[in-house]
Amino acid sequence: EAGVTQFPSHSVIEKGQTVTLRCDPISGHDNLYWYRRVMGKEIKFLLHFVKESKQDESGMPNNRFLAERTGGTYSTLKVQPAELEDSGVYFCASSQGLGTSGREGFWNEQFFGPGTRLTVL
Amino acid sequence: AQSVTQPDIHITVSEGASLELRCNYSYGATPYLFWYVQSPGQGLQLLLKYFSGDTLVQGIKGFEAEFKRSQSSFNLRKPSVHWSDAAEYFCAVRAGNNRKLIWGLGTSLAVNP
């Protein structure tokens, strides 16, 4: 079974440009999460999808970040325009379950992708 | 607010030596605690988790962790480290009905032959 995949693995862009990160979750996983790790800081939650709906986007830094999950499969995270402080590693994770319905779903493990390293110059 | 502290940013041990990585959390009720590992070029992999019950939990790759409520700690241990254990280790907490994980800074482990 394929794990969570992310594309690209690395991206180097200039300040003001646009970048789109993609995450393909494990097939059948309803929950999809984005996290970010800025160098020297802890990993921070960005947002959580349940299928195609945003369940929690409390961690999104500002309106330059736009996440989508059309059709409830893969997700994209677009940064437009990118700023220097957006540099970091962006992780995607997915887990089984039916969202907030059902205790079993709540405890399901989050499986992580290898991350996309974004460098903004 | 919930928080996680991993006091050791970097640790070096010799192969075959024992290992303990520290993790302290801040949360008012019973937390749900996790340890993840990230090897170079790999995604974060779950080592073990604690939700309730026995405070000593066993994980993959020979790791275990002990939940100590009185000390607000969830330290990760391994009796004998292998060179392949060199990686970055993260402690995380999930609280209440919220699914998002709150992370520590991570501890980078180097293993000397």
Supply A33's token pair.
């999460």
Name the residue in chain B with its Cα closest to that of A39: B105
Could you say which residues of chain B have pLDDT below 70? 95-98
Q: How far is CA A48 from CA A54, A64, B64, B76, in A?
A: 6, 17, 29, 28
Average pLDDT score, chain A = 90
- A104 assigned to some structural domain: no
The pLDDT of A88-99, averaged and rounded, is: 85
CB contact under 8 A, A42 and B103: yes
Domain of residue A90 covers 5-98+109-120
> How many Å apart are CA A43 and CA A45, to the nearest integer?
7
Candidates A39, A42, A38, A78; CA nearest to A62 is: A78
> How many Å apart are CA A51 and CA B89, to the nearest integer?
30
Backbone angles phi, psi at B27, to 5 degrees: -165, 140
> How many Å apart are CA B105 and CA B110, to the nearest integer?
16
If contacts are CB pairs under 8 Å, which of residues 40-79 in chain B contact chain A? 41-46, 49, 51
CB contact under 8 A, B4 and A43: no
Per-residue pLDDT tens over the stretch A9-27: 999 999 999 999 999 999 9
- A36 assigned to some structural domain: yes
What CATH number should be reported for the domain holding residue A44? 2.60.40.10
Give chain A positions within 8 Å (CB) of B93: none
For residue A66, the SS3 value is strand
Q: How far is CA A21 from CA A40, A59, A69, A114, in A?
A: 22, 17, 12, 13
CATH of B3-112, one of 3.40.710.10, 2.60.40.10, 1.20.58.220, 3.40.50.1820: 2.60.40.10
The pLDDT of A40-46, averaged and rounded, is: 93
Indicate the number of domains in chain A.
1
